[in-house]
Amino acid sequence: MKPKSLVPLVIILVVLAGLVVWKKSSVPQTTIEQQVGLVTLLPDGISKNDIAKLDIYAGEAPDKKLTLAYDTSGDKWLLPSHFNSAVKKDVIDRYLDSIVKIKGEPRATAATESELELYNLSDAKAFHVQGYKKDSAEPYFHLLVGKSPGYNSVFIRKAGSNEVFVEETNLRQQAGVYSDDSRPAPMGPEAKEPIPEPGIWLDKTIVKMDLEKMNKVALTLPDKSLVFERQEKPQAAPPAAEPGTEGTTPPAPAEPAKKEYEWKVASGGPGVPMKENGPKSMTQKLSFLEASDVVDPAKKAEWGLEPAAYVAVVSCEGQPDVRIEGGRPDPNGDGYVTVAGSPGGTVYKVSKFIFEQAFPKGTDVFDLPSLSMDKATIEKIDITQPGGDVSLVKDGESFRIAKPVAALDPQRTTAETLATTLANWKPADYADASADLGEPTRTVTVSGGGQTHTIKLYGPSKHVAGSYARVDDGTNVLVMSGMDTGKIFVKPGDLYVRTLLDIDDMNIGEIAVNGAGGAYSLAHGEDGAWTVAAGGAPEPADNTAAESLAGEVSVLQAEDILFGRSSVEGATETVTVKMKDGTRHVISVGPEKEGKHEVKISGKDQVFIVSAESKKGLFPPVDTLKKPAAPAPAPAPEAPAPAAEAPAAAAPGDAAVAPAPVAPQEVTIAPVPAPVAPQEVTVAPAPAEVTVTPAPAANVPAVEAATDPPADAAVSQAEPAPAPAPTP
């Protein structure tokens, strides 16, 4: 085709394309919302700046609503329902943005409240979000959120309307509330829709400062005060010129070295070297301190804040000082802090771990003096304490208990742990030398390898769980942690195995019990069966119950040992155990004292302490040991009363016989007299096959079958048939 011939075709195509574009531009364009039919569920023209308060709650608990309100004076959102705590700005902004964009796709219209429950959209089942304008007592909008039909959708409706919509934004989940359609449902009869909690909304940031601008931290703790300052590190001097290079061209001046800083102790402290990264964790934590929760500021005394036992004053370049006040009622628990001068005086709860970083233990910052010995060289350990003195002496590779002495097996693990802990002991904290310690309460002396060291313990530490201590009567006031105290200053009774009877319950022959509930005895037969006797002839015992008692006796464990005591105070109850080899053991138990009982074992010099529960197991009631009586046989069913017989019509060759109530079958029976009836029954003399009709009633006398009936007396039992009408 010639090029000139193509020109008209190109012109035609261009014209057609223009027409198509013109036609499309003239057709009104529809949005996705219009195509899907999305409906705005909030008042027209609403913006998030119109919302001044939100109430969110589960329909089952409207009285436990969570309220968020905008504070114009501070330009921030607060939680009036949670001590007016501050709300995270990014969280509330995101939630308000989601609310104003709510548009639902119509799904259904529920005719009744029960139909709304299918979507969890009834007033009682739904999650409610109410929004208010400033100074308005009536909700500006009220949305109800139901269950999720899919991963990224949720049912929703407006209050006062039964029209159900589907929406992508789940306001319930964004509020931190999850129900059975999005995570495992709570189980049990008490399971309910979760209620909204403040945790997701709370601004838990206590303070936030620029770490590079921090230059001073002054700490005051219950038993010490010290100040740290950030100082510039001294710069190294420039290297000296090498010999023989005089007169040569000097090198170009080097770039000035970047300034480096380090933290130093400005005042206070234990007078020992600081660790390389001593205050690093403390300064980092104080620069950005976060809480785990917010508590009632009206209970400051309860949180240890009146007055505050802990104070950290942090200085930053070009900024006013920040004063953080803290309290910790339990030295081993969480702490509570507040920022002096903060609006509302919010009191924050801080985890134990974070609190001890902000207000550190001495061992975290300083190289405190310790007791370092080679355990292998320890020859003797002597402990003086109110609960009883202890003395251990090295005997070969282990330790022998020299004091107190008992006819029991030693608990070697306890002695080894004591020696190991003592040889490697390091203090957990320190206190200022001016701390009031009082008189020492316990002392441990360890000797070996040509050296002797003494640790004296005083009252409880005010900063960490433990006790104040001095090593070799030195000037440093140290702290022994509660864990180390328990391992070193052991109770004398913990040095021994406290199983009171080392016997095998299978070898027990007899057990005689004489208690407040009476006296009885158990005997163990050669066949393994037990018998019980209580003032009479022996009778079979419940083997399981008897073996349980034997087991209680064989594993009886003491909670403590009373050294120096040889008898039980007060009236006693006894359990006497006779072994199959003839050996006897007597357990004497005293009366209860504060949930405990004193116990004396024959052949042992000490008195032991057992729990009330252990004592109860030694004296079960005798009735629980007896073999349960066999159940009485069920009474035989009474014979059914004869039913009244219906009168039968007399017919030649026929006899009306009342058969036994059995299924129709052919049986051979002997001729029997006709049933007694107020009429004469005629029986044909000739042998005949008689049709027997069962009576309709089931309770009729059975007819016994003859063992050997005559041949001419065979009777065939026919199918049941109604009796003939009586003759007039």
pLDDT per residue as tens digits for the range 635-679: 666 655 555 444 444 433 443 434 444 444 444 444 444 444 444
Claim to verify: residue 76 and residue 170 sit in the same structural domain: yes
Q: Which residue, among 327, 307, 98, 58, has the nearest Cα to 195 in the 3D structure?
A: 58
Report the alpha-carbon distance of residue 540 to residue 626 in Å, rounded.
7
pLDDT at residue 642 in the model: 53
Strands 508-515 and 518-524: antiparallel
Helix H, strand E, coil C: the string for 67-113 is: EEEEECCCCEEEEHHHCCEEECHHHHHHHHHHHHCCEEEEEEECCCH
Extract the tokens encoding 555. 């594993």
Mean pLDDT score of the chain, rounded to an integer? 83
d(CA 602, CA 577): 11
Check whether residue 95 and residue 127 sit in a common domain: yes
- In this structure, the answer to whether residues 59 and 164 fall within a common structural domain is yes
* CATH of residue 491: 3.30.1490
Which helix (H) or strand (E) covers residue 220, if one does?
A: strand 214-221
**Do 633 and 691 form a contact (C-beta atoms < 8 A)?**
no
What are 268's strand-pairing partners? 226
CATH number, domain containing residue 548: 2.60.40
Total domains in the chain come to 4
Task: Looking at the structure, tell me whether residues 336 and 423 fall in a common domain.
Answer: no
Which element (helix H / strand E) includes 228? strand 224-232
Instruction: State which of 365, 393, 427 marks the end of a domain.
Output: 365
Q: Which segments in the chain show pLDDT lower than 70? A: 1-7, 20-37, 179-193, 236-257, 632-728
Selection from 280, 281, 309, 290 nearest residue 351 by Cα: 290
Q: Is residue 324 part of a domain?
A: yes
Could you tell me if residue 247 is left (phi over 0), alpha (psi between -120 and 50 degrees) or otherwise beta?
left
Residue in the structure block whose two tokens are 């199918």: 719
Whether residue 356 sits in one domain with residue 408: no
- Between the alpha carbon of residue 24 and those of residues 17, 18, 33, the distances in Å are 11, 10, 20
> For residue 664, is it within any domain?
no
Among candidate residues 555, 552, 549, the one with its CA nearest the CA of residue 523: 549
**pLDDT tens per residue, range 589-623:** 999 999 999 999 998 889 999 999 999 999 999 99
Same domain, 531 and 490: no
| 355 lies in the same domain as 389 | no
Q: For residue 255, how many other CB atoms are within 10 A of its CB?
A: 6
In this structure, is residue 90 part of a structural domain? yes
d(CA 519, CA 534): 6
User: What SS3 state is found at 537?
Assistant: coil
Burial class (CB in 10 A: 0-12, 13-18, 19+), 206: buried
- Alpha carbon distance 294, 345 (integer Å): 11
Instruction: Say yes or no: 387 and 305 in one domain.
Output: no
Within a domain: residue 111? yes
| Residue 534 located in a structural domain | yes
Domain end position, chosen among 495, 525, 554: 495
573 lies in which domain range? 505-624
Q: In sequence order, what are the residues at sequence separation of 6 or more whose Cβ sits closer than 8 angstroms to the Cβ of residue 364?
A: 275, 278, 281, 282, 356
What is d(CA 206, CA 5) in angstroms, rounded to the nearest whole number?
Answer: 83
50 in the same domain as 154: yes
CA geometry: angle 174, 179, 181, nearest 5 deg: 105
Q: Are residues 470 and 545 in the same domain?
A: no
CA distances from 257 to 213, 233, 253, 260, 271 (A): 19, 11, 11, 9, 32
Which of 195, 190, 150 lies closest to 172, judged by CA?
195
Asked whether the beta carbons of 695 and 717 are under 8 A apart, the reply is no
The pair of structure tokens assigned to 69 is 């309100």
Measured distance CA(401)–CA(404) in Å, rounded: 7
CA distances to 128, 171, 560 from 152, in Å: 19, 12, 62
Whole-number CA gyration radius for the chain: 48
| Residue 146: other Cβ atoms inside 10 A | 26
> What are the CA-CA distances from residue 26 to residues 18, 65, 393 (Å)?
12, 53, 106
What values do phi and psi take at 601, rounded to 5?
-110, 130
C-alpha to C-alpha distance for 624 and 622, rounded to whole angstroms: 5
Say yes or no: 510 and 491 in one domain. Answer: no
Q: Decide: 307 and 325 in contact? Cβ < 8 Å.
A: no
Burial call 214-238: b when 16+ CB within 10 Å, e when fewer: bebbbbbbbbbebbbbbeeeeeeee
Residue 180 lies in a domain: no
Q: Are residues 573 and 515 in contact, defined by beta-carbon separation less than 8 angstroms?
A: yes
Sign of the CA dihedral running 427, 432, 433, 435: negative
Concatenated DSSP letters of 349-382: EE-HHHHHHHS--HHHHB--------GGGEEEEE
- Tell me whether residue 404 is in a domain: yes
pTM recorded for the entire structure = 0.71
CA dist 156 and 107 (Å) reads 10
Residue 333 in any domain: the answer is: yes
- Do both 610 and 511 map to the same domain? yes
Q: How many CA atoms lie within 13 A of 513 on its CB side?
A: 25
Cβ atoms 334, 328 nearer than 8 A: yes
Burial (Cβ within 10 Å: 0-12, 13-18, ≥19) of residue 21? exposed
Tell me the CB-side half-sphere exposure of residue 55, using CA atoms within 13 A.
18
- Which of 572, 599, 624 finishes a domain? 624
- The pLDDT, as a whole number, for residue 236 is 63
In angstroms, what CA-CA distances link 504 with 433, 500, 614? 58, 12, 18
Separation CA 124–CA 141 (nearest Å): 18
DSSP class of residue 37 equals T
